[in-house]
Amino acid sequence: MRAACIVLWMASLAAAQNPAGQGNDPQWRRDLMGLSDHPGGATAQDIDRFVQNVQMATPYFATITPGDFEANREMVRRMWAYTMALEIMAKQNPMMRPLASRARGAMNAFPIGYMMIQPGASGQQQAPRPQAQPPKPGAPPFALTAPSVEGAPDELTARYDSTAARAATAWQNAETVRLNLASQGMGLNAQTAASLSRLKLALDGAVRALQGRNWDEAASSLDRADGEIEKISKVVGH
89-133 pLDDT, tens digit each: 888 888 888 888 888 888 888 877 766 665 543 333 444 444 445
Total count of residues recorded for the chain: 238
What's the one-letter identity of residue 183? S
Return the pLDDT at 2. Answer: 47
Residue 19 lies in a domain: no
Strand, coil or helix: 165 = helix
- The pLDDT score that the predictor gives to residue 15 is 37
pLDDT for the residue numbered 116: 66
Report pLDDT for 227: 94
Q: What pLDDT sits at residue 83? A: 85
Residue ending a domain, choose from 113, 145, 167: 113
CA atoms within 13 Å, Cβ hemisphere of 16: 6
What pLDDT, on a 0 to 100 scale, did the predictor assign at position 115?
65
Q: How many separate helices (H) and strands (E) can be counted in the chain?
A: 8, 0
Burial class for 11, CB neighbours closer than 10 Å (0-12, 13-18, 19+): exposed
Could you give the number of structural domains in the chain? 2
| Same domain membership, residue 224 and residue 159 | yes
Stretches in the chain below the pLDDT threshold 70: 1-24, 63-66, 114-137, 183-185, 238
**Cβ contact 107:75 at 8 Å:** no
Domain containing residue 193: 154-236
- Identify the pLDDT of residue 70: 76
User: Which of 113, 140, 167 is the endpoint of a domain?
Assistant: 113
Eight-class DSSP state of 31: H
The residue type of 167 is A
14: in domain: no
Assess contact for 77 and 117: CB atoms under 8 A.
Answer: yes
Task: Please report whether residue 215 resides in a domain.
Answer: yes
Pick the last residue of a domain from 113, 130, 164. Answer: 113
pLDDT of residue 155: 94
Q: Is residue 217 part of a domain?
A: yes
Tell me if 165 is assigned to some domain: yes
Do 107 and 43 share a structural domain? yes
Model pLDDT, residue 175: 85
Please state, in angstroms and as integers, the Cα–Cα distance from residue 187 to each residue in 34, 50, 220, following that order: 27, 24, 30
DSSP state, residue 94? G
